[in-house]
A and B are shown apart, each in its own frame.
Chain A
Amino acid sequence: MILTQDGWGTIIALIAAADGDISGAEDALSAALERAVSAWREQGPPANPEGWLYRVALNARRDVWKSAAARTATALDEEMIDRIDGSSGSGADPADHDPDALPDRRLELLAACAHPDIDPPARPVLMLSAVMGMTARQIAAAMALPAATVSARLTRAKKRIAGLGVDFGSPDRLDLESRLPDVHETIYGAFAIEWAQAAAQPREGMIGEALYLSRLVAQLCPGDGESHGLAALIHLSAARFPARRSGDGRFVPLSAQDPNRWDGPLTEAGERHLVEVHRCGHVGRFGLEAAIQLLHMAGIRTGSTDWPMLLRLHDDLGQIAPSLGGSVSRAAVLAEVNGPAAGLAALDALDADSPRPSAFQPAWALRAHLLTRLGRTEDAATARQRALDLTTDPAERAYLAGLT
């Protein structure tokens, strides 16, 4: 591996920030990587490989700008080149460039990938390509999409960004912070991908990539509570991934999971990010969801769950980010605090408010569970059948069917 993922994103961010052309920056870096293969074989790798690659890629890019300027007869935008040249002299030997001195402009690149003008489904795809250097093929495999679909989305999205021009590289910190929620949503979207298939087996998908991106944002915005909240949520969720299915592929609900099958280092990383959330003093949607998950996990590990605290967290979450899924979870917690009848009443209230509650499988599964606890066996069976009708995953169906 000539270049790390960090190195790829850093160099692309620097070069693309000049004119907003991500494709151009990728072509230039690819050319530099090609040159590195032969140059480094002959002369040995330079002391600062990233600096070398940056400088060579930048030179390749400048050649394109110059020829474009010559072709269109418009004045060459010297300012544009100066902007990324920074203090280093243009004649300097690439090998002399200090990689530690490469400014990190990946936050701007992340914000560009999550730009409101880009179609939401294309945003994570763009991030994986521009920030992490994944190919369309690799992304297609991770998302279980046809490679042609991914390529088309990428091309369209990169054109859009190029159309934004230098605005994408806005160095205005305040402006960047206002765009963080879109960055968070995009990374979470890459993680909590709604599998467009009736998968017989859970897929790893883009868990590794989402972990990397969430760590990156938290690292680039160490004072932002929600960035740490997102990292905490993704790490804690990913930690439980191996425990979601038993050895023979059966579905295992959270409450029945074996904590020993949770990933220790990921859990600890999630806990550390949650500590950072509190240090930052700002708890948002992702921070709350992470705290809820950690409380559930602690409860399962110790055998005693702090339901009243969970209810408070759910109430807060409902305030700042109401959602159907969140309301159903809250009803489940309410049933633990005030009894199944209270949970059922909350579900009924939900049905009255939502446009399509009758199609929401988790609501029916919870209803079946609460009706069973109330001894209303017949009603419970009806609700369970309804949940089954809406469940496509065979493992989940088998689990629901076994609850009778």
Chain B
Amino acid sequence: MPEATAEKLSRAWTTSEPLLSVSDLKIWFPIATGLMQRTTGYVHAVDGVDLEVRAGETLGLVGESGCGKSTMGRAVIRLLEPTEGTIKFKGADISHIRGEKLRALRRDMAMIFQDPYASLDPRQTVGDIIGEPIDIHGLAKGKERQDRIRELLRVVGMNPRYADRYPHEFSGGQRQRIGIARALAVEPTFIVCDEPISALDVSIQAQIINLLENLQSKFNLTYLFIAHDLSVVKHISNRIAVMYLGKIMEIAPAGQLYRHPRHPYTGSLMSAIPIPDPAIELLRERFILQGDVPSPVNPPSGCRFRTRCPRAREHCAEAVPPLEAFGAEQRAACFYPLEG
């Protein structure tokens, strides 16, 4: 299987620029109510996000339900169209492309989904599932196509014999491998991993994480890794962005984020995650948030986190804190950040 990167780099783009660059991205979903189905409001799923993903890295995107991370994942791969803002991939503006240009993009970007039971068509054989992107883009035919499918199965650690079996005959972990093989079939540069291991058993998760890391170094892939399990994200990511109610609260290298979180939300997330070590758990200082996540239809004014933040003061309701730098690589959006 040919190495992906060399063929794909467009002439205008160099690896020193970010692979993916998102600027003030907003994705709002209209809410239609009433008999006439008029738009009465919007769900501010993504509400002004600036983000960069560098070539070859894994950027983790974490947050709880309703924070917009899944929407971000679908937006950057252009399964959704931005309401406002721009998305640039390899230097080119892909925010509103259509038709042939969009199809060409689909060869460069791929996505891995969360639910191994729903992300594969139960009516197709494994071989057809993996072969479909090859067919769509006319990458190979006949024997060459068969060989590619078999090679892809081998690469994800499955026996090529399984190509004529059906998805329901496989376990969750194996189905996820099939999904990964399908994503690799287009020979992408960039893969969005949307909660790829949340639905798997603990003992299988490690296998898939290792597989993803392996494939990344073998094929020079760049990942946007979306998940809610910070332990996993910290392991696999170079940098991590923390989202809350459609905005980025903090972004920092993985280790730095854990050791010196600046944003109170990051701090409480870290303290809420159970660590499988009774000695540590009993001694931990718990920083437990009160209340629930506000609705993304009507986010709080100023800093969105202020309604649950133990450090909030008046100023937090009046102005939206910008992402401020703390050292070379860390940025947090907070007027009263945690001490380093």
A, B bound: no
Q: Spell out A's residues near B (CB within 8 Å).
A: none
